[in-house]
Amino acid sequence: ASPAVRLSVRADQPGAKIERDIFGQFAEHLGTGIYEGVWVGPNSAIPNIRGIRSDVVQALRAIKVPNVRWPGGCFADEYHWREGIGPAAERPARLNASWGGVIEPNTFGTHEFFDFAEQLGAEVFLSVNIGSGTVQEAADWMEYLTADKPTALAQERARNGRRAPYKVKYLGLGNENWGCGGAMSATHYVEEMKRYAHYSRNLDPAQTGANAMKRVAVGWDSGNSDYTEEVMKAWKGKVWSWDIEGVSLHAYTIPNSWERKGPSVGFGEDQYAKGIKATLQMKDWIGKQSAIMDRYDPEKKLGLYVDEWGIWVDPNPGSNPGFLQQQNTLRDAIIAALNLNIFMRNADRVRGTNIAQMVNVLQAMILTDGPRMVLTPTYHVYHMYVPFQGATVVPVSFEAGSYRFGDVEVPRVDAVAARDASGGLWLALTNVDPNRPARFSASVAGVPARSAQGRILTGTAVDAHNGFADPDRVAPRPFSGRASGGQLHFDLPAKSIAVVQVR
């Protein structure tokens, strides 16, 4: 038997606030992520409210989605918002050239998206089109959304059914403009970005001060830092008129190579171990991007927004490869937990993240098939982690040990802790090892620790997943620790994630 992992949980020490937006989502016009996954239309036999499917909304409400990023992704840099307002029958059909070459009917546009966010109780993160749009187009969108005075665009908004301004919490200034967003050099992007940052004004006086919109500039892709460097240099040297509140990082987990990413299901320990190793690069990527930001912004005024992340593997056989449909397994749940843990440990700089993507695309929360819906193992992690939203980090120290497979070696376990707004202490424990159980013994300073109850997620295999016929194969079960000798003890089975409240 392996020795217990000794956790020292310092609830008597201060920690950073875990912004709720760390648990944000991303919904792009890609595959069936919007059409079918979210939007079925008001005349559908699938229960819906104003065209938005109710089963999906209900499930997402349970994970308390803090914000949704939309309309892309690569799609954002070819999206023209005017095509998605007004009578549905008059909206132009376009080709979604980024994703699958299918018709984009523009049925789901600005009003439908805000309706969806309001049904979820979520804030919005809009990405403006820098790649193929204009500064005027972005400025007009902002006026349309946020003007509280009767400007021509505010009146048009009212005619389209919305009198009060919409709240825009985040404005993404482009998307991957080093690639699909226009293949711009970093210096060229910065010149464009400054104009968008200046003219894309939020005109609603209620959206000022603590309620002010945050502009997020494009930062580095996982392998390349020049965008972050140039954006931060420009921000540091800015003299007047434009500003930003954050820089983005896109960081996907690819178990093998870009060309052959690896299967989403039907894999063994080799792909599992490679996936875990690949995902733990997130720590280094955040470390490198934070180090650049620290040089220009030691006071941490700007946030780092990991506004696209998740495991990206080969599409389901037989599916449109441009739809990025993949099965979601216990491996993906462990990957979600490890990344959320990394984000929380870096909460002093990481103020938001958006997993890619919410429904039917990449590392999804939910998969749909006609009227059917299934919750993925990743969804369950988000559900179990709800108590960490808005909580305060509690420092935890431990020796993780190693899990090895072939030439891959990664930490065998992981643990994070936080205190919620009512002072409740929460622990999240992960046993990465797919073969051996792990025993944790926790000493807790600062609060009484007489018992611990919560839930655990595990499965029979690393590729265990939920199907439409068996939707609860991977689902959380009750779990508790036991107290003895002044410590709390937890026995986690192989490949599992537990979240408990300590009392």
Which residue numbers are catalytic? 176, 308
* Residue in this structure with the two tokens 């993906």, named with its chain if needed: 332
Beta carbon of residue 255, minimum distance to ligand AHR (angstroms, whole number): 16
Residues that contact ligand AHR, how many (by CB under 6 A):
10
Interface with ligand AHR includes 73 (CB under 6 A)?
A: yes
Interface with ligand AHR includes 96 (CB under 6 A)?
A: no
Tokens of 405: 């497979």
Instruction: Check the CA dihedral 117-165-181-276 and report its sign.
Output: negative
The angle formed by the CA atoms of residues 48, 51 and 52, to the nearest 5 degrees, is 65
Q: Site residues for ligand AHR, window 177-196 (CB under 6 A)?
A: none
How many contiguous H segments (helices) and E segments (strands) does the chain have? 10, 26
Interface with ligand AHR includes 377 (CB under 6 A)?
A: no
Strand partners, 392: 17, 419
Among 24, 31, 66, 72, binds ligand AHR (CB under 6 A): 72
Interface with ligand AHR includes 454 (CB under 6 A)?
A: no
Residue whose C-beta lies closest to ligand AHR: 73
The angle formed by the CA atoms of residues 226, 256 and 324, to the nearest 5 degrees, is 80
Tokens of 271: 């792909």
Interface with ligand AHR includes 11 (CB under 6 A)?
A: no
Q: Which is nearer to ligand AHR, 69 or 157 (CB)?
A: 69
Interface with ligand AHR includes 173 (CB under 6 A)?
A: no
Among 36, 104, 230, 308, binds ligand AHR (CB under 6 A): 308
| Alpha helices (H) in 147-280, listed in sequence order | 152-159, 186-199, 226-236, 269-279
160 near 114, Cβ under 8 Å?
A: no
Tokens of 134: 């204009």
Interface with ligand AHR includes 85 (CB under 6 A)?
A: no
- From 100-108, 354-362, 438-446, 486-494, give the range in contact with ligand AHR by CB under 6 A: 354-362
Select from 417, 412, 388 the least CA-distant residue to 401: 412
Q: Which is nearer to ligand AHR, 232 or 251 (CB)?
A: 251
Beta carbon of residue 26, minimum distance to ligand AHR (angstroms, whole number): 7
The angle formed by the CA atoms of residues 222, 360 and 23, to the nearest 5 degrees, is 55
Among 11, 18, 25, 28, binds ligand AHR (CB under 6 A): 28
Task: Report d(CA 416, CA 333) in Å as an integer.
Answer: 16
Beta carbon of residue 76, minimum distance to ligand AHR (angstroms, whole number): 8
Beta carbon of residue 315, minimum distance to ligand AHR (angstroms, whole number): 12
Interface with ligand AHR includes 174 (CB under 6 A)?
A: no
- Could you tell me the CA-to-CA distances from 312 to 327, 385, 472, 490 in Å, in that order? 10, 22, 23, 32
Can you spell out the DSSP letters for 167-201? P--EEEE-S-TTTTTT---HHHHHHHHHHHHHHS-
Among 22, 74, 232, 335, binds ligand AHR (CB under 6 A): 74
Q: Which is nearer to ligand AHR, 76 or 338 (CB)?
A: 76
Angle between helices 269-279 and 330-345 (to 10 degrees): 20
Q: Which is nearer to ligand AHR, 252 or 405 (CB)?
A: 252
Interface with ligand AHR includes 332 (CB under 6 A)?
A: no
Interface with ligand AHR includes 218 (CB under 6 A)?
A: no
398 near 487, Cβ under 8 Å?
A: no
Q: Which is nearer to ligand AHR, 246 or 434 (CB)?
A: 246
Beta carbon of residue 152, minimum distance to ligand AHR (angstroms, whole number): 32
Binding site for ligand AHR (CB under 6 A): 28, 72-74, 175-176, 308, 356-357, 362
